[in-house]
Structure 1
Amino acid sequence: MTAKIAARRYLPTAAFALTLSLTAMTPAAAQQGSVPLPASLKSAGHIAVGIETTYPPMAYKDPKTNERVGFNVELVNAIAKELGIPVKWEEMSFEQLMTSLTTGRIDMIGTAISDLPSRRDKLTFVDYLATGAQPFALATKAGVLKSNADLCGKTVGAPRTTSYMPVTAAWSEKNCAGAGKPAITVNGTAGATATRLELKQGRLDAAVLGPEYVAYLMADEPNTYAFVGEPLNKTLFGLAFDKKNTELRDAVAKATSTVMKNGSYQQALKKFGLERQSLPEPTVDAGQ
């Protein structure tokens, strides 16, 4: 049976008021960067970074303190340290990020945004983390659902407003039906929270979300979930820049490389459970 789905690209829709904050950095510290700054940043005295804070563990608000936290927050702060310049954070909705970048309101997008060829007509990326459509199940089914092939013939849920539905259906068409096995029945859900609920209620055998979010769920509810195989596709998260601003992109790429070599990157990966998504070095515009 071939799964029938309606696909739409995921774009978070919640609007958030713009808030600004400066990462504390003394003038002395601002001169200790290991990477030369572009003239525009030297003149501004800071790097303006747009971020959307509703996607744990990449960037979100700590429910206890309401402070901005997450892997991307720590990564950008570490990069800024290598550049020797403070971060001026600008919180906004996902939809505002690209427009704010191309109009010069911000210098860089620091939120979790996929480096896609379709976005590179206006943007250029420094890739720092692998991602994709990650299957997972309840830990009680870990003995039955171990590999991607074990999903054939099962009911798998994914948010209907994301790319995870068509990716799962396409994978099933090629690797299940194409191999003479029962196809995956792909059920659309109302979102990540609904996906988790239906999985726990037994309406789904497995689910598909971003591996970074699955890692967050596993930390939030220990011993409840387990990964099933590898991501069904592989893409890259990148720090985004206006396509014309290659000088800043290249400076950030150098700083990211340093952060990956000095241990700050690995420390942040471990803190947020993202070790399996690490890259050995940053790349530029390598997403597919």
Structure 2
Amino acid sequence: MSRPLRALTAVAACLAATAALSGCVSTSMPASVAGKGGLPPSITEDKELKVGLSPDFPPMEYRDEKTSRVVGVDVDLARALGAELGLKVTFQEQKFDQLMNSVTTSRVDMVMSGISDTVDRQETVDFVDYFDTVGRFYTLPGRADDFRDGDDVCGRKLAVSKTTDYYGQALEYNKRYCTGKGKPAIRVLPTDSGAAARLQLEQKRADVAIQGGENLAFFERTEPGRFKVVLDPIPAKPFAAVVKKDDKPMARLVLKGFRQLRADGTYQRILKKAGMAYGSMAPTFNGVED
């Protein structure tokens, strides 16, 4: 949802093994957790990794209709992360708007729920980026030929969830490609969720919509032909695991785990199974900058 959504070895060279990555976590790891096999104090005793999520964002996290179990890419990655680090993983379901506060107040150790790393959010939490998502315009199959060029959305009604980063991107796209070039403004229809935006499209109250490429890949597998992706991808902020601000031990632990999952191929297999191999990326710490 690009929603509006971290062993512990010495850090002298910012984890020499991460030389190929773009960011360092810290140069001052506390000695108490710097030793081999060390764990952050918050999970040392029970070796349990508590993960917060909001299971309403397929394919990242959602409830399986047949089993009622919470499943999804984030769920698979979190479980693989726990297995790699020797930790028991438990999930705590919460409303999306409660997740940031939950990690800030230590009710959970981290959040994995399709949350985008943004500079504004970095003021209150830290991120380990792990999936390079993109936004996509989409419409009903019968309308696809109406959207061949980027400015074909100008003057059209566009549905987008106002709780996601795509809402701001729609406004920026309008300014850059429509009003900024003397073309009619996009008539943005803000909705409460991606599902509501899809409903606007299906009820023909909107001409086109924006959502994450991962969502549309999911719908194409589960309901082939329901929607049609059009135009070029829109760059988006990467999805990231969220940890408490300045909790360097936890951030480094999660960063290490993702790095290992990528090295042994587990990460790529999980993404490929979900049709999301396009978003594979080297994990980084607070990788989004101004």
Please give the range of the TM-score, normalised by the shorter of the 2 chains: 0.7 to 0.9
> In the alignment, is residue 184 of structure 1 matched against residue 178 of structure 2?
no
Q: Distance in 2 between matches of 1:175 and 1:123?
A: 33
Choose 235-244 or 38-47, whichever is displaced more: 38-47
Distance 1:54 1:183, change over 3 A: same
Aligned to 1:262: 264
> In the alignment, is residue 236 of structure 1 matched against residue 238 of structure 2?
yes
Aligned to 1:284: 285
Q: Distance in 2 between matches of 1:194 and 1:170?
A: 21
Q: Is this contact kept in 2: 1:134–1:210, CA < 8 A?
A: yes
SS of equivalent residue, structure 1 residue 43: coil
**1:122-180 CA distances to partner (integer Å, 9 max, x unpaired)?**
31110011235431112333344245333233322223454433421221121122233
Give the aligned residue type for 2:4.
Y
Distance 1:284 1:160, change over 3 A: closer
SS of equivalent residue, structure 1 residue 134: strand
Q: Distance in 1 between matches of 2:232 and 2:239?
A: 17
Q: Is this contact kept in 2: 1:112–1:238, CA < 8 A?
A: yes
Choose 107-116 or 198-207, whichever is displaced more: 198-207
Give the aligned residue type for 1:247.
P
Distance 1:142 1:260, change over 3 A: farther
Choose 56-65 or 266-275, whichever is displaced more: 266-275
Aligned to 1:121: 123
Give the aligned residue type for 2:214.
E
Aligned to 1:62: 64
Give the Å deviation of 1:37. 4.1
Distance 1:177 1:235, change over 3 A: same
Give the aligned residue type for 1:227.
V
Aligned to 1:95: 97
Q: Distance in 2 between matches of 1:196 and 1:211?
A: 14
Matches within 5 A, 1:1-288: 10=4, 36-40=37-41, 41-279=43-281, 281-287=282-288
Percent pairwise identity: 34
Q: Which runs of 5+ in 2 are unaligned?
A: 6-35
SS of equivalent residue, structure 2 residue 101: helix
Q: Is this contact kept in 2: 1:37–1:83, CA < 8 A?
A: no
Give the aligned residue type for 1:82.
E
Give the aligned residue type for 1:159.
S
**1:72-131 CA distances to partner (integer Å, 9 max, x unpaired)?**
000111111211221122222223322322222221112222212122223111001123
Aligned length: 256
SS of equivalent residue, structure 1 residue 114: coil
SS of equivalent residue, structure 1 residue 183: coil
Give the aligned residue type for 1:53.
P
Q: Distance in 2 between matches of 1:37 and 1:231?
A: 42
Q: Is this contact kept in 2: 1:157–1:195, CA < 8 A?
A: yes
